[in-house]
């Protein structure tokens, strides 16, 4: 799938994985629309080729409007990368009692339902574009986590949501095949994102020491590089790719 003279939509595009991906897509020639909450966009730097669109991914009307903005930009919408997500932790039964059901539902709502919401509404717009000479219309890349497979203590909600994204990948690819739309998922390990900004260097070094090789944390730019490789590789479809340095998470 070629990026030049096409539009791309990236959720969570104001920081972390999304910001790195939006920047890489723009550098590849795409006209990028970065969706994020207004509070995140207010902190985001200006990037050539990237337009920020305040959007709550759990709100169908907001997402529909953002997709319409990208689809109506004068070039076909071809690429969607879902990076928006949250990762609070809580034990099912802890010192303060039972896991708060509202918190569990919120994590599912943002990470899984938000991903599905964007995937479904964006695919509707992509399906209306003219296919290329190979019958392709677009590609959607979702973000799971190795927590989908190796969930740690306190990650019941997060692992559930990311496991759902993994489970969504193949049926979504099969559903959208008739429209020439591919669907893949990236399952990152531990990445240097704003979620880790509050931890100490010592704690960060301990996390890196657990990675077999390379023995360091991943960079958002490496996620972006993999996302662009999926866009470029037309035979990748229905697959979840771990990007984790061979890390398998311990219980805690």
Q: Which residues are catalytic?
A: 158
Find tokens 């931890």 and name the residue: 199
Distance CA 60, CA 49 (A): 25
Laid out side by side, the sheet with 138-143 consists of 50-54, 31-36, 7-11, 77-82, 138-143, 181-188, 240-243
**DSSP H or E run through 111:** none
If we measure between CA atoms, which residue out of 35, 30, 49, 50 comes closest to residue 83?
35
Greatest Cα-to-Cα distance within the chain, rounded to the nearest angstrom: 60
H/E stretch holding 52 reads: strand 50-54
Contact 91, 22 (CB under 8 A): no
Q: In 3-state terms, what secondary structure has residue 28?
A: coil
Distance CA 193, CA 156 (A): 21
Rounded CA-CA distance 161/178 in Å is 27
Nearest to 76 by CA among 135, 125, 27: 125
Contacts of residue 235, defined as CB under 8 A and 6 or more positions apart, other chains included, come to none
């Amino acid at each position: 799938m070629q990026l030049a003279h096409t539009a791309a939509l990236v959720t969570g595009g104001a920081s972390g994985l999304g910001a790195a991906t939006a920047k890489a897509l723009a550098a590849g020639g795409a006209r990028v629309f970065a969706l994020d909450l207004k509070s995140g966009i207010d902190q985001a730097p200006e990037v050539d080729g990237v337009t920020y669109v305040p959007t709550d991914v759990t709100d169908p009307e907001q997402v529909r409007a953002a997709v319409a903005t990208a689809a109506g930009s004068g070039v076909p919408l071809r690429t969607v990368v879902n990076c928006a997500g949250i990762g609070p932790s809580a034990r099912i039964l802890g010192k303060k009692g039972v896991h708060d059901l509202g918190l569990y539902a919120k994590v599912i709502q943002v990470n899984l339902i938000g991903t599905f919401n964007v995937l479904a509404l964006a695919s509707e717009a992509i399906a209306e574009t003219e296919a290329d000479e190979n019958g392709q219309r677009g590609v959607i890349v979702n973000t799971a986590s190795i927590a989908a497979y190796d969930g740690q203590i306190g990650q019941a909600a997060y692992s559930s949501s990311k496991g759902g994204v993994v489970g969504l990948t193949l049926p979504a690819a099969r559903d959208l095949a008739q429209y020439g739309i591919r669907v893949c998922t990236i399952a990152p390990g531990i990445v240097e994102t704003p979620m880790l900004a509050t931890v100490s260097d010592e704690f960060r070094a301990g996390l890196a020491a657990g990675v077999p090789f390379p023995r360091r944390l991943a960079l958002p730019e490496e996620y972006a590089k993999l996302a662009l490789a999926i866009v470029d590789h037309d035979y990748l479809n229905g697959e979840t790719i771990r990007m984790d340095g061979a890390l398998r998470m311990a219980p805690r």
